[in-house]
């Protein structure tokens, strides 16, 4: 498996092979969350409904008491790792964190051996973040416990898309016809991919905006109806939700991006936000780089849903873990 191999020329072939791999895995792991494409419409609605219940009603019992969840993180994370951990503990499960830099992964242990080791110790579910696209699917094929994708390379970040979708639905009656503008480093963004797949499926009109180096034309093929615009100022008046993305310096490998030009053309400033409809909402999956993709005035404005996204992440991940382990809240 190559690092971050999904986008550009080989995207369709790799998408197909990952999709068929995930479908095979899904038959053994109907409780896994590998990607948005593997979720049925009923799964999506039930996860969002359950998340809503978790937001409204406090947890009275511990439906996952006695269950063990391993958090296997090969890449750094604050929001995803902590919210899965908080979600698990709030449902009564115990958690253990395995990070690449402080485990036998550093000594060369393979992904499958690491997963099998955790399962042999009694892990009932593995939540995995990995720099390679398809890593959760590989684990799902080899293990007989549910696997939850917490972000795999440039492929997908399904729990993020679900929490983004949930957050938007708290502000809008319907997602049908919602104009979602995703801005910035689409090329490297698993968040952009998962959101485009999920929200276009639910009826939103998805537009990607960014420079060619970070947004190849092939991005239009991610989901039906997705379109590409280069001019941020022209895209803004047509946006109901503006989702800013971080420029992923750790994945740029050879791409020459001028920070000055990026800020000039794609930074969301108060002046630019004024071009959008008055009710347009600002989102960012985090981590934000203030002064790069958006200014602090915008990040901290009343239009920004950034902390709501984080808060909703715990409820959505409770729903994902409950589904994975078959518990009843």
Q: Which residues bind ligand CP (CB under 6 A)?
A: 77-81, 151, 157, 160, 285-287
Of 106, 191, 196, whose CA–CA distance to 151 is shortest?
191
Q: Are 321 and 62 a contacting pair, CB within 8 Å?
A: no
Residue 232's contacts (CB-CB under 8 Å, 6 or more residues apart) are 183, 209, 265, 266, 272
Concatenated DSSP letters of 137-179: HHHHHH-SS-EEEEEETTTB-HHHHHHHHHHHHHH-S--TT-E
Nearer to ligand CP, 77 or 133 (CB): 77
Nearest-approach distance from CB 158 to ligand CP, in angstroms: 11
Nearer to ligand CP, 151 or 327 (CB): 151
CB atoms under 10 Å from CB of 13, counted, come to 10
Nearest-approach distance from CB 200 to ligand CP, in angstroms: 20
Nearest-approach distance from CB 1 to ligand CP, in angstroms: 21
Nearer to ligand CP, 26 or 75 (CB): 75
Q: Are 304 and 282 a contacting pair, CB within 8 Å?
A: yes
Nearest-approach distance from CB 143 to ligand CP, in angstroms: 23
Residue 281 DSSP SS3 = strand
- The phi-psi region of residue 66 (left if phi > 0; otherwise alpha if psi is between -120 and 50; otherwise beta) is left
Nearest-approach distance from CB 253 to ligand CP, in angstroms: 19
Of 170, 188, 303, whose CA–CA distance to 239 is shortest?
303
Nearer to ligand CP, 196 or 236 (CB): 196
Q: Which two tokens stand for residue 286?
A: 């985090």
Nearer to ligand CP, 22 or 160 (CB): 160
Nearer to ligand CP, 220 or 308 (CB): 308
Nearest-approach distance from CB 56 to ligand CP, in angstroms: 24
């Amino acid at each position: 498996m190559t690092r971050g191999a999904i986008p550009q020329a080989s995207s369709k072939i790799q998408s197909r092979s990952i999709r068929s791999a995930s479908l095979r895995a899904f038959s053994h792991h109907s409780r896994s969350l590998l990607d948005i494409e593997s979720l049925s419409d009923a799964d999506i609605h039930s996860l969002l409904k359950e998340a809503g219940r978790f937001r409204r009603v406090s947890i009275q019992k511990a439906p996952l008491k006695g269950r063990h969840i391993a958090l296997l993180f090969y890449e750094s994370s604050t929001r995803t790792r902590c919210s899965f951990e908080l979600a698990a503990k709030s449902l009564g499960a115990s958690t253990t964190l395995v990070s690449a830099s402080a485990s036998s992964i550093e000594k060369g242990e393979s992904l499958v051996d690491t997963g099998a080791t955790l399962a042999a110790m009694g892990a009932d579910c593995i939540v995995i973040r990995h720099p390679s696209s398809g890593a959760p699917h590989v684990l799902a094929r080899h293990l007989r416990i549910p696997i939850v994708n917490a972000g795999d390379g440039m492929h997908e970040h399904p729990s993020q898309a679900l929490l983004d979708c949930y957050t938007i639905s708290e502000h809008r009656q319907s997602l049908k016809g919602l104009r979602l503008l995703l801005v910035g480093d689409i090329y490297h963004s698993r968040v952009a991919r998962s959101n485009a797949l999920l929200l276009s499926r639910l009826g939103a009109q998805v537009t990607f905006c960014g420079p060619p180096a970070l947004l190849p034309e092939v991005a239009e093929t991610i989901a039906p109806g997705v379109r590409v615009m280069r001019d941020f100022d022209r895209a803004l008046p047509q946006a109901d939700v503006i989702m800013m993305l971080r420029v992923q310096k750790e994945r740029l490998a050879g791409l020459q991006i001028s920070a000055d030009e990026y800020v000039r053309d794609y930074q969301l400033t108060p002046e630019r936000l004024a071009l959008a409809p008055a009710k347009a909402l600002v989102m960012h999956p985090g981590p934000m780089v203030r002064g790069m993709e958006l200014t602090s005035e915008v990040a901290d404005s009343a239009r920004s849903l950034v902390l709501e996204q984080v808060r909703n992440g715990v409820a959505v991940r409770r729903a994902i873990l409950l589904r994975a382990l078959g518990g009843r809240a």
